[in-house]
Amino acid sequence: MRICFPTEGSAGLEERIGEHFGRVSTYTIVDSETEEVEVIPNNSTHKGGKGLPADLLAQEDVDVMVCSGLGRKAIRLFEEHGIEVCIGAGGRVKEALEEWRNDGLKSASRSDACNRHEFGDHGHS
């Protein structure tokens, strides 16, 4: 499986999880079978490019998005692409990956959406 984490840099497994998945600079993708780590730039419309983050990650054959949280629309778009979303991640990619492997993260539904995203306040505490 290809597991994706929203990140701010290119440090791979040592990189910190970004607080707003759509506005991060990079996405770190880990293949859970081969342990290969790939860092790609966020070229979505949130960063001046084309398409939405879910579209970008679907093109990268991502199976799971692991993040701290996200809004209802984003959850719906990931669902439409068949990408599972797990929320509650924080810290570094390697820590979040371990949490995901141990079923320590919640699988997101639209009722789990960050309400702040619905009103334009993207800050997380």
Number of CB atoms found within 10 A of residue 98's CB: 12
Identify whether the C-beta of residue 89 lies closer than 8 Å to the C-beta of residue 68.
Answer: yes
Choosing among 3.30.1600.10, 3.30.420.130, 3.40.600.10, 3.30.420.40, the CATH entry for 2-116 is 3.30.420.130
Position 124 scores a pLDDT of 39
Number of CB atoms found within 10 A of residue 36's CB: 10
Q: Please state, in angstroms and rounded to a whole number, the distance separating the CA atoms of residues 42 and 16.
A: 15
Task: Report the chain's C-alpha Rg in angstroms.
Answer: 13
Indicate the average pLDDT of the chain: 87
Position 71 scores a pLDDT of 85
Segments making up each domain of the chain, as ranges: 2-116
Position 47 scores a pLDDT of 58
What is the per-residue pLDDT across 58-94, written as a single tens digit (0 to 9) for each? Answer: 999 999 999 999 888 889 999 999 999 999 999 999 9
